[in-house]
Structure 1
């Protein structure tokens, strides 16, 4: 089945360059790049040799100041080795930067097959070992790339008609697939799962959950707000009732105080009036007594007799004694009447009780 599907796909697509051809073509390009790198290395070595010769002929101005910045660079010029002491730190930094850049450049440009052949420890020798570079250059140049089929890679260098003819020839050389096989393949395709519906359902579920969560939060917020409003209104009502109660109590106290003040004022006024009346009565009595005394004095003076006065006194005393005796007799009679009435009432009650008992006994006997 896989071969049939591949053939079916090849019917509608022009021939792409295979991986092997592209890999070899990339190796050719890398060989050109490596040659350019070697040329650049030669230029750098020439410049570095000129700089070293210049430093050997002229002393560094900071020779006495920077003793701790000494570093050694070993350079291979042919088969002759020289060790040169340089006091300046920038030369060492430049050399290290060049080495790092070279290792990174070769590491990126070389393919996996070629990179396995070149070890990292040997890459660090490129900037110093001319013999090693020559060996690599010879190996790269001795390879024969004439047998490579690079059709489909450099089409931009050829004419359009030539490219079209080449593509048509490739298509004509390919074998056609049987239509029955294609129909069979279409009818017996393996069922593939459509994950878009699941993703949409998940998105919808997430959206619904988010909306539900937001709705729940909104409902909780509204409930909290409503509860707070109800509590606030209840507090306001309680506070209002307490304020009204306090106001009523204050009003009642004020009314009571006002009534008490009125009552005190009325009592004081009444007391004053009573005192005034009493004073008036006393004054009237005194005036009457004075008038009586005056009248008596006048009568006494007119009659010139004291016997009359004594007689009148005796009459008054007898009259008082008679009145007292009459009152005593009346009270004694009333007591006797009360005693008789109470005895009579007790006798009546006894008679009624006895008659009730006799009637109850007679009724009891009659029932049996």
Structure 2
């Protein structure tokens, strides 16, 4: 029996966290006539039962282990391929295999559970002491759907655990601003829960549809599950990229004229497609992290490209001025003893309401302007973190219906 101090105990617990796993096993037994179904964690040298449905008194409980060399699951781990046996006595390869004799079964089906990373987790399998008709597309298709479904849930659980740990570490650092600490907590309890709720809902519906042999409905739900899993994965990647923006990277002289020119070139297809006019003043050189400056202006210009041109020809204007000393004192609580530049990126789009001016800088904040895509809801959060990394500030100025201006204040040198 696997014990709590065993490193594989956590994997058994993860399977227990999957709300539909027991229903999946029940559906397998009921729809195929197999008497025993289970999810097993399989490694190079271990085989552990994580969840079981035992209707024939097989006698294997959750957490119990079998000798890895006595199982067919070990061979599946090596090949990554399913094994389906209708009648072991009539199977050319498995009629002489020791496993059926050891465990007393005639029919057997097992599929690998493979995580998104490509790592092999274990198997979803069923056995019965009587022969069975398993070699048909309906049964094999059902097993494929369920194995993929379990992998989605395991991936989601692992991603959530890593994200919570990372957010906890970040939020407990003294240099993390209070608003970021608040956002990390909100992300963990709200933003990341939405795709997980969808996964659970669609999973339940998929199990029910499969149980009723509604194959087309099951395929449709499988697509929805993939979409929710992809959304969850994108959110994790965006969050990981955000937390990776450090203020300890080496500074060098960065010409913002060159940065804006490079970013404009990257966005040229969108600019030309919408016939956008981009006006740029002479911009200064500053001491900065080059790739963070490119990220900053890419996000700002990409945002402007999306929303400019509400009721008139689309236009984006980028301007700059050096701030007077008294202006710096008014803007920054602890200004550095040096000159600062104020850079404005202005569009003539739909604008932002006053109530949204601060929220636009929150991670995963989304205004009601479209559907979720990778990077949406994090771009302006990137901007604020990058500007903070450079000892500056960023703010949004809005005139609803006439456009938005993002104003960045950065030191010219260090």
TM-score of the pair, normalised by structure 2: 0.15
Higher RCO structure, 1 or 2 (CA under 8 Å, sep 6+): 1
Larger radius of gyration: 1
User: Which structure dedicates a bigger proportion of its chain to helix?
Assistant: 1
Q: 1 or 2, which has the higher strand percentage?
A: 2
Scaled by the length of structure 1, the TM-score of the pair is 0.17
